[in-house]
Amino acid sequence: MSIQQAIEKIEAQYGHQSEFIQAAKEIALTIKPLYDAHPEYEALKVFERLIEPDRIFNFRVNWENDKGEVQVNRGWRVQFNNALGPYKGGLRFHPTVTESVLKFLGFEQIFKNALTGLPIGGGKGGSDFDPKGKTDSEVRRFCYAFMRELHHYISKDIDVPAGDIGVGGREVSYMYAMYKNLTRESTGVITGKGVGFGGSLMRTEATGYGAVYFLENMLKAQNEDLEGKIVLVSGAGNVSLHAAEKATALGAVVVTVSDSQGTLYDKSGFNQEKTDWLKAQKQQSKPLAEYVDIYGGEWLANKKPWSIKGDIAIPSATQNEVNEDDAKLMVDNGIKYVVEGANMPLTADAIDYIRLHHVYYAPGKAANAGGVAVSALEMSQNSVRQYQTFDEVDERLKCIMKNIHDSATEASEQYGQTKNGYIDYMAGANMVGFKRVADALVAYGILN
Ligand code: GLU
């Protein structure tokens, strides 16, 4: 079955899962030169096998709110592919979570994790639970109830969850506590744990910092650097604020962050003091708009950051936040580099538009792989029961991001996707990630 036929098959079967179909098509479109060069992939139906998750667990989560009322949510864990190592990927708690969203995220995670060069497979999970407006005790009860179900399916060598949107250090700690309570094991079964009880230094910063390390490599390839560059960041969560922090430390001027209510624009840039204020504000779920009263700048209600002039965009909020109109705005406003801090923040049309206009484009599975890479380092630290220093982890992260950049560049060149000096990072990254997994599947025969 050709790649095209495999796509038609999943469209017929899962047509309603739009995010998943979008992610599968993106890979399908770009790996063709590689697939054609490896007839064994088609012979063993590698693509057809890869777009079907190994298994999906789907469970009910009962918990009690502060009034003692019973609440019911849905929970999932998608174990997508473990050819390279234990299923690995975060848990997302957000009302938009569906099986389609988790399948797209799990599918992306397979190739992202392969790109890190570390022994981890791909998975994802989560719940339609909305943490917004919940008290700490409600979040705690939900996390305990969620892990009471999830613990049946995971273990340090089988499937290792972590955080994602709506799941940070607090939630990971609650879930880990329930896992320990039920199994009496202290293991690396979940990553993003607190430093001091198994967590790795730098895990919190890793996704945002890693995206900026990737960007540094992209700039270097064009004989440029971050000094004085105007950067637009969307989102105001963990990835956004750490990307802003690192870009600023390396000389850039980060002028926007945003949330579902609008965009905060400060043309003088977010220095460390302002970034610390933003982190504290978000931690307490308080409005970004209050920034203006303290530091000035502008609050652009109900606006995205893309109408502002800049050199670099780092969309780090959520999937499909940048549509074709936004992509046009980016190009009109001088953006030369787009680095995805979030997973699939650009729609397919937006990607087409910016690539057509030769904007350098780093897809999430390459640019935001730093988070899961440091998660894998946390797993290895847990296995040998030792900690690495901040600097050791930072050095490893820099090296991993450079390797991802260089291998994507090389594949783009090798398969003729680099034209007139324009490096097609999307095609390159998809081919490198896909090849690593596909070669393992070929080696295994038809198991896996
Ligand atoms: N949720 C993050 C991602 O999208 C991190 C996953 C992990 O650390 O396992 O890659």
CB 371 near ligand 1, within 6 Å: yes
Residue of 88, 124, 246, 435 marked active site: 124
Best residue among 19, 108, 115, 164 to mutate for probing ligand 1, ranked by most atoms within 8 Å of CB: 164
Share of the chain above pLDDT 70, in %: 100
End-to-end CA separation in angstroms for the chain: 18
Q: Of 310, 328, 362, which residue constitutes the final position of a domain?
A: 362
For residue 427, is pLDDT > 90?
Answer: yes
Q: Is residue 324 part of a domain?
A: yes
pLDDT at 409: 98
Name the helix (H) or strand (E) containing 95.
none
Domain extent at residue 181: 3-187
Place of tokens 């990835």: 239
Q: Is residue 296 part of a domain?
A: yes
Each residue's pLDDT tens digit, 328-378 = 999 999 999 999 999 999 999 999 999 999 999 999 999 999 999 999 999
CB 208 near ligand 1, within 6 Å: no
Q: Verify that 16 and 79 share a domain, yes or no.
A: yes
Q: What is the CATH number of the domain that holds 33?
A: 3.40.50.10860
Q: Verify that 113 and 222 share a domain, yes or no.
A: no
> Within 13 Å and on the Cβ side, how many CA atoms surround 301?
2
pLDDT at 389: 98
From the CA of 4, how far away is ligand 1's center (Å)?
Answer: 29
Q: Verify that 140 and 223 share a domain, yes or no.
A: no
Q: Verify that 211 and 358 share a domain, yes or no.
A: yes
pLDDT at 348: 97
- Sequential DSSP letters for 131-161: -TT--HHHHHHHHHHHHHHHTTT-BTTTEE-
CB 17 near ligand 1, within 6 Å: no
pTM value?
Answer: 0.97
Q: Verify that 85 and 173 share a domain, yes or no.
A: yes
From the CA of 253, how far away is ligand 1's center (Å)?
Answer: 27
Closest CA to 404 of 388, 377, 428, 372: 428
For residue 406, is pLDDT > 80?
Answer: yes
What atom of ligand 1 comes closest to residue 375's alpha carbon? 8
CA distance 116 to 217: 15
Task: Domain count for the chain, please give it.
Answer: 2
Q: What is the CATH number of the domain that holds 240?
A: 3.40.50.720
Q: Of 362, 384, 410, which residue constitutes the final position of a domain?
A: 362
CB 343 near ligand 1, within 6 Å: yes
Q: Is residue 353 part of a domain?
A: yes
Residue range 85-105: average pLDDT? 98
Best residue among 202, 375, 397, 400 to mutate for probing ligand 1, ranked by most atoms within 8 Å of CB: 375
Residue range 46-60: average pLDDT? 97
pLDDT at 10: 96
Q: Verify that 230 and 342 share a domain, yes or no.
A: yes
Asked about 9 being catalytic, the answer comes back as no
Residue range 221-236: average pLDDT? 98
From the CA of 211, how far away is ligand 1's center (Å)?
Answer: 13
Q: Of 155, 187, 219, which residue constitutes the final position of a domain?
A: 187
CB 191 near ligand 1, within 6 Å: yes
Q: How many helices (H) and strands (E) does the chain have?
A: 18, 13
Q: Verify that 211 and 183 share a domain, yes or no.
A: no
Q: Verify that 221 and 180 share a domain, yes or no.
A: no
For residue 1, is pLDDT > 80?
Answer: no
From the CA of 170, how far away is ligand 1's center (Å)?
Answer: 16
Q: Is residue 213 part of a domain?
A: yes
pLDDT band at 416 (very low <50, low <70, confident <90, very high): confident
